[in-house]
Structures are given as structure tokens and as C-alpha cells.
């Protein structure tokens, strides 16, 4: 087995991983930093696929308090408020870094200020973007800097197991597979950042790239870490529905289309969103997806089983100019987005749940840190469009800064648990010793099961059915072998490993959904349709012990604002107080009255 030593190992090369690498090197130039990625650095993962943009409070009239309240209310009061506050405040710093230090070019207004567009679920137009190719711009610039600074890369290496130190006191490193050779590789590291991203590709319709299979979350579960909010799987309302013959089906048509005034039309030719929410198509993703699903169940479906997205009333030329990438994508599939209509369907997009972590990105395992979609608690029950790439870059940067300080203070020679490495290798090799079978029926069964029973609308009957069916899918996978004569780029082997991870994480989603007997954000139970008491909100936690889940509920700590209150009241009152003080000073000097901020409401 090949063995590599490094100081900092970063798993993943999206916004979180690359920002962490750059910040870690800036903070401690002498440390050895290695980025390991399942595909090619800069060419894979979900950050590159971001179309919509980056939420940040910059414009006059907006504020970090307003952004924070939109995030908390969008998350249905389940977010860790300190993490959410870190997100909205550090996003201001991070967007300047992206522009001024890394060289990102974002769209601008005629006066030179950053152009910010409307996104659903927000009270202010705050989404910075570069047309509809924001993620490509960000990842290209980050990747250029990583290449230029000589940070070590392990491309086409998939992580399969966190390996503890022989004494059990801390993490020793990560077991990986070099996909090019099929060889196992152990990377010993003083510290590891988990930033592989989530990717709910266990659903029939999904947006993430084919290399995403919840590897990091599955590794965290096998390592005994606690995950939270796993029932909260976000479905993006407008996934392209192009038929079963193309992998383009499920890919996102960005939120900005609805934010700009796009219409969702049923098979009857009528808009329907205003019947479900006063914001109509600009409601939050969970509401729009659920409304669409109800229309589909009622039979108001297009030929391929979706609804129509129409933009032509906004002017075809304007649509082509503003959404060039989306127009071209649709044209490739035979649709005219600018002048006609496009079939869309809700598509699994993002996982709000993940590993529990602190504001410094640390976890309960010494030496293991987490950032990005692998981490849970920032978004609560629903992520606002535009907060995803902000989350990755904000906490990726923080992780890099912390790692640069943590490693020199805690560096010591760490020997791995060799028995654990042997067990992990044996687990990965299990299918190689069995007769080769067909993985496609197993994958399709998982897709259909999760879409039908653990999808947009849930109930106890379907969730219990899914719990049993997932055990059977796992058993069927265990009985299925793959041809192991040549392990170089053996995609069947990696498909098997992907399905193992997806099945485990699907079980976690199902268990959390069974625990939550109310409806919040992305999680909707028809048998428990009410949201429950916001003041006593709880989040669901689970961990894996000896193959079974241990579950618990924990009370949300309202550290900054409580349900029924708003930080905007304090902001407005403080502004009024300052204005009153200015007027009083101008009129009568020291004798002028000064207003004080009123309590939050």
C-alpha cells in the first residue's frame, strides 16, 4: 500500500476545499497541504455548477441583519444562529476577497457597483452573479491560485475511511483509492478537512454531478460522528425535464428565472403558484416544489410528468441576454426557453443536514474539521438560493485559517490503527470476490424508493416502507459482485461503493424524517402537516453504532433572536436613535434627548 505524509489533507476541491487550501497556506506557508479530489481539480463537484449566484448584503437599504433574518426565517427557525450570523457577516469579506484578491469578475451596474439580482425567499435583491455561470467563474479563479501556489494535489483519488490513531486519541489520516490504478493509498495527516460536498443523488431526479454520492457523510457516519437535520433535503423547483434518454434531466434551471418573473404553468395552461403562496413563483424552494408536486399528483402534468416554465412574457431578447447559459442548455435539449416553454420538475438539489460542527469548523474528533455541504446547522430546514456558495467559501476560509494555527500547536507523530485500515480495505474489496452482477436495477430501485417515499411529501406509512426497503436494497447490494480482474478506472467497483454510501445516507435521511413528527421547510409530513411550536423547536440528531442508528432530539438555542422577534427592529431603532441624537445635537447641544433602542419584537 502506498503511503503519503502531509500536514493538512483537504478532501474535496469545491469552494470550501479550495478556499481552505489557500487560507491555510497564507496562514502557515511552511506546512505541507494536499488537496484530494475524486475527479479533477477545478473540473468536478457542485460549486462549479452554481448558476444563480452569491448572497451578500452590500447595497444601500440592505444589511447583514436583514440577510440574517431571511436566512433564519427561511430555515424555519432550526438554524444554529451563531453559524448563520457567521455566514452573513463573513460573506461581505469573502465577496471582496473573490473580486479583489482572486480576480473574479461579477456583473456590475452602470455606476460600477456590483449587480445583485432577485432570488426567491429573500426580502432584498442581494445575489451577486456572473450571468448564469457564477460557479464556473469562482472555481476557475480558485483553481488557478491553487495551481500557481504549488499546493499538492491527489486527483482521481476517492476517500473511503477516516483512520484513527493507534491510541484512539485523534485522527491519523484517511484511507483512499487511487482510481487510476485501483491501488489503496493511506494519507497520514496532522489534520483533515472534510469538504467533499453532499449531493443527494439517491433520488430519481437530482442536480449534482455523477461523481457525488454523499461519500463524506457516509464516512462520518462510519466514524461515529453525529449528524443533524438529515431529513432536510432540498428540492430545487425547476429541474430540466428532457426525457429518460439524457442525463440532462434533473439539471437545474436557475432560481433567477423565477426571480426575474418566470411563470410556472400546469398542463391546463394556467398558473397555479398563487393558489399556494402570495409570493407565487418567488416563494421559497420548499413551497414551490411541494406545490408543483401536488399539481403533478392531481394530474395537472405535462407529457413527461412535469410542469411548464415560461419566460416569453419578459421578452425573448431580454431572456437571451440575461440567461444566456440557460437558453443554450435548453436549446441543446430541444427547448426554446426565451420564446417558448420548457418542461421542469422538482429535483433533489442540496442537503441542509450534515456533520455537527463548531464555528471554527472543528468536530468531536480531534484533528477532523468540516466545511461546506458536509456540515449541518447553518441553513436549518431550508437553504436560501445563493446561500450555498456563500456557505462553502465563508467556512472554507475559516477552516483554512484555523488549520494553519491548529496544526503547529498540535503536531506530533501519529501512528494509524493498522487493524482499522485492514478492515476498511476488506470492506471495499467485498464485491470483488463475488460473481459480477447488475447494479442498474439496484440503483433504479433506490431512485424510485426515495422519490416516492422519502421525497417532497412524506408520511409514516411511506417512511416505514422505505426503512425496510433500504435494508433490502443494502442486502441486495451486498450479494452483488463486480468484475475485479482489472481495478484501473473500474467504474463498476466505484459505482458499487457509491451505492453503498448512498444507501447508508438514505437510511439516515429516513430515520430523521421518521423522528420529525411535524412539517418544517424541506421536510413535509402529510400526517403531521403543522410546523409545531417554534419556541420549543428541536433538531434531529443521529449517529451510527454497530450498524444501527442512535437518535436524539436537541432544543434549538435562540442565541440572537427568538421566534416572533427580529433583528431588524433593533437595527431600525438604533438608526432612529442615532438620527434623533444628531438632530438634538444640532438643535441644543448637550441638553438634547437621546432615544434608546426598544426591545426586539
Q: Known catalytic residues?
A: 236, 258
By the 8 A CB rule, do 47 and 347 touch? Answer: no
Q: CB-based contacts of 52: which residues, under 8 Å, 6+ apart? A: 119, 127, 129, 132, 134, 254, 255, 256, 385, 386
Strands 548-555 and 233-240: unpaired
By the 8 A CB rule, do 187 and 34 touch? Answer: yes
By the 8 A CB rule, do 272 and 363 touch? Answer: no
Q: What is the SS3 string spanning 549-586? A: EEEEEEECCCCCCCCCCCHHHHHHHHHHHHHHHHHHHH
Burial 568-592 (b: 16+ CB within 10 A, else e): bbbbebeeeeeeeeeebeeeeeeee
Strands 116-117 and 127-128: antiparallel
* Cα–Cα distance, 134 to 116 (Å, whole number): 12
* Cα–Cα distance, 340 to 149 (Å, whole number): 47
Q: In terms of Cα–Cα distance, which of 383, 441, 91 is closest to 236?
A: 383
Strands 183-194 and 368-370: parallel
**What letter does residue 30 receive in the DSSP assignment?**
T
Give the DSSP per-residue string, 376-416.
-SSSTT-PPTTHHHHHHHHHHHHHHHHHHHHHHHH-----B
* Cα–Cα distance, 396 to 116 (Å, whole number): 23
Distance (Å) of CA 506 to CA 164, 233, 352, 503, 510: 25, 11, 14, 5, 6
Burial 340-353 (b: 16+ CB within 10 A, else e): ebbbbbbbbbbbbb
- Maximum distance among all Cα pairs of the chain, rounded to whole angstroms: 91
Alpha-carbon torsion angle 252, 256, 257, 263, nearest 10: 110
* Cα–Cα distance, 407 to 400 (Å, whole number): 11
CA 475 to chain centre: 29
- Rg of the chain's alpha carbons, rounded to an integer? 24
* Cα–Cα distance, 246 to 428 (Å, whole number): 30
* Cα–Cα distance, 567 to 601 (Å, whole number): 8
Amino acid at each position: 500500500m502506498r503511503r503519503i505524509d502531509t500536514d493538512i489533507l483537504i478532501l474535496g476541491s469545491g469552494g470550501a476545499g479550495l478556499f481552505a487550501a489557500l487560507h491555510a497556506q497564507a496562514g502557515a506557508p511552511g506546512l505541507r497541504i494536499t488537496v484530494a479530489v475524486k475527479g479533477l481539480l477545478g473540473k468536478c463537484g457542485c460549486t462549479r455548477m452554481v448558476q444563480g449566484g452569491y448572497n451578500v448584503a452590500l447595497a444601500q437599504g440592505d444589511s447583514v441583519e436583514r440577510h440574517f433574518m431571511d436566512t433564519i426565517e427561511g430555515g424555519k427557525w432550526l438554524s444554529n444562529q451563531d453559524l448563520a450570523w457567521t455566514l452573513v457577516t463573513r460573506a461581505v469579506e469573502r465577496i471582496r476577497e473573490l473580486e479583489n484578491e482572486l480576480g473574479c469578475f461579477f456583473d456590475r451596474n452602470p455606476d460600477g457597483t456590483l449587480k445583485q439580482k432577485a432570488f426567491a425567499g429573500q426580502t432584498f435583491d442581494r445575489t451577486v452573479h456572473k450571468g448564469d455561470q457564477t460557479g464556473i467563474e469562482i472555481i476557475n479563479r480558485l483553481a488557478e491560485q491553487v495551481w500557481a501556489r504549488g499546493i499538492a494535489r491527489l486527483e482521481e483519488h476517492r476517500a473511503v475511511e477516516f483512520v484513527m490513531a493507534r491510541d484512539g486519541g485523534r485522527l491519523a489520516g484517511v484511507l483512499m483509492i487511487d482510481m487510476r490504478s485501483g491501488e489503496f493509498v493511506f494519507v497520514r495527516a496532522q489534520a483533515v478537512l472534510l469538504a467533499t460536498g453532499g449531493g443527494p443523488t439517491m433520488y430519481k431526479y437530482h442536480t449534482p454531478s455523477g461523481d457525488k454520492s454523499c461519500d463524506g457523510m457516509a464516512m462520518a457516519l462510519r466514524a461515529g460522528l453525529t449528524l443533524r437535520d438529515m431529513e432536510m433535503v432540498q428540492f430545487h423547483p425547476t429541474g430540466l425535464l428532457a426525457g429518460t434518454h439524457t442525463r440532462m434531466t434533473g439539471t437545474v434551471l436557475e432560481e433567477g428565472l423565477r426571480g426575474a418573473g418566470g411563470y410556472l404553468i400546469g398542463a391546463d395552461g394556467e398558473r397555479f403558484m398563487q393558489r399556494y403562496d402570495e409570493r407565487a413563483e418567488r416563494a421559497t424552494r420548499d413551497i414551490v416544489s411541494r406545490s408543483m408536486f401536488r399539481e403533478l399528483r392531481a394530474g395537472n402534468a405535462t407529457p413527461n410528468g412535469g410542469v411548464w416554465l415560461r419566460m416569453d412574457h419578459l421578452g425573448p431578447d431580454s431572456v437571451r441576454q440575461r440567461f444566456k447559459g440557460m437558453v443554450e442548455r435548453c436549446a441543446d435539449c430541444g427547448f426554446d426557453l426565451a420564446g417558448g416553454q420548457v418542461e421542469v420538475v422538482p429535483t433533489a438539489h442540496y442537503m441542509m443536514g450534515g456533520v455537527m460542527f463548531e464555528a471554527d469548523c472543528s468536530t468531536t474528533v480531534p484533528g477532523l474539521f468540516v466545511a461546506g455541504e458536509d456540515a449541518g446547522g447553518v441553513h436549518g430546514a431550508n437553504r436560501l438560493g445563493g446561500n450555498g456558495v456563500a456557505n462553502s467559501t465563508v467556512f472554507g476560509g475559516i477552516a483554512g485559517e484555523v488549520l494553519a494555527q491548529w496544526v503547529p500547536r498540535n503536531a506530533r507523530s501519529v501512528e494509524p490503527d493498522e487493524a482499522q485500515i485492514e478492515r476498511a480495505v476488506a470492506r471495499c474489496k467485498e464485491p470483488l470476490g463475488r460473481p459480477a452482477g447488475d447494479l442498474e436495477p439496484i440503483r433504479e430501485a433506490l431512485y424510485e424508493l426515495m422519490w416516492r417515499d422519502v421525497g417532497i411529501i412524506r408520511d409514516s406509512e411511506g417512511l416505514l416502507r422505505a426503512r425496510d426497503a433500504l435494508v433490502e436494497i443494502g442486502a441486495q447490494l451486498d450479494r452483488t459482485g463486480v468484475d475485479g480482474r482489472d481495478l484501473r478506472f473500474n467504474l463498476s467497483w466505484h459505482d458499487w461503493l457509491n451505492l453503498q454510501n448512498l444507501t447508508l445516507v438514505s437510511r439516515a435521511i429516513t430515520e430523521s424524517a421518521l423522528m420529525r413528527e411535524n412539517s418544517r421547510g424541506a421536510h413535509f409530513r402529510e400526517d403531521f402537516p403543522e410546523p409545531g411550536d417554534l419556541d420549543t423547536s428541536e433538531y434531529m440528531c443521529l449517529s451510527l453504532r454497530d450498524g444501527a442508528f442512535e437518535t436524539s432530539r436537541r432544543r434549538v438555542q435562540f442565541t440572537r433572536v427568538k421566534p416572533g422577534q427580529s433583528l431588524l427592529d433593533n437595527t431600525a431603532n438604533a438608526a432612529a436613535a442615532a438620527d434623533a441624537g444628531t438632530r438634538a445635537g444640532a438643535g441644543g447641544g448637550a441638553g438634547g434627548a437621546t432615544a434608546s433602542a426598544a426591545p426586539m419584537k
